[in-house]
């Protein structure tokens, strides 16, 4: 079926609202290896899968999905230590599942990438930050709010620039969960984040 960008954004928002998100940096710290899928998918590493089946895979892509009946198993390459690359890989595979892809052509790959961008960097939150700051939030600032790389944030910023935005109830709900009354303003939050110390 033909999917518009707004359909894909809606699917991604629906999945985000299944998560327990609260606080302005909740998206940044969301661990996609343990994302709640509502029973649509299981997520595991390739190493765990190889250990459970007792043999090595003949290839090791960054990620892929195995379909068994109604269950989808997403496998990601845990040899890649970059959390943001793992996030993108898992989000892309979730796109294939939540968009009900039955083939793996260029169109499906593009849709899965669009889903991943909407899941990792939801438009409603970007627009809220733009309004709160009184200007477009910069890609380097976006990396403090979203679990995505500078490159992904730059692409998303460019994609959203100059396009119309139509608010939705789901988008408003996500923004409310992340930026409830009493939270620091984004400009203050960015300053807090810069001065914070995080342990890996």
Per residue in 82-97, pLDDT tens?
Answer: 999 999 999 999 999 9
Q: pLDDT category, 194, cuts 50, 70, 90? A: very low
Mean pLDDT of the chain: 89
Whether the per-residue pLDDT at 187 is higher than 70: the answer is no
**Predicted TM-score (pTM) of this structure:** 0.87
Half-sphere exposure at residue 21, Cβ-oriented, CA atoms within 13 angstroms? 29
Whether the per-residue pLDDT at 167 is higher than 80: the answer is yes
At residue 104, the pLDDT reads 87
CA-wise closest residue to 65 among 83, 41, 85, 35: 41
Range 12-33 average pLDDT: 95
What lies within 8 Å, CB to CB, of 56 at 6+ separation is: 50
């Amino acid at each position: 079926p033909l999917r518009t960008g707004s359909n894909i954004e809606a699917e991604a928002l629906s999945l985000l609202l299944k998560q327990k998100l609260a606080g302005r940096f909740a998206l940044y710290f969301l661990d996609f290896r343990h994302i709640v899928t509502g029973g649509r998918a299981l997520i595991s590493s390739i190493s765990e899968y190889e250990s459970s089946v007792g043999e090595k895979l003949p290839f090791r892509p960054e990620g892929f999905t195995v379909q068994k009946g109604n269950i989808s198993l997403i496998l990601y390459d845990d040899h890649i230590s970059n959390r943001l690359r793992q996030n993108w890989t898992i989000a892309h595979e979730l796109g294939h599942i939540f968009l009900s892809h039955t083939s793996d052509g260029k169109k499906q790959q593009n849709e899965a990438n669009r889903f991943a961008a909407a899941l990792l960097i939801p438009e409603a939150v970007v627009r809220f930050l733009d309004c709160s700051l009184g200007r477009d939030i910069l890609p380097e600032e976006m990396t403090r709010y979203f679990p995505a790389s500078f490159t992904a944030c730059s692409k998303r910023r460019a994609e959203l620039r100059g396009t119309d935005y139509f608010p939705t109830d789901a988008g408003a709900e996500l923004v409310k969960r992340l930026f409830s009354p009493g939270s620091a303003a984004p400009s203050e939050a960015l300053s807090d984040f810069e001065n914070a110390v995080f342990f890996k």
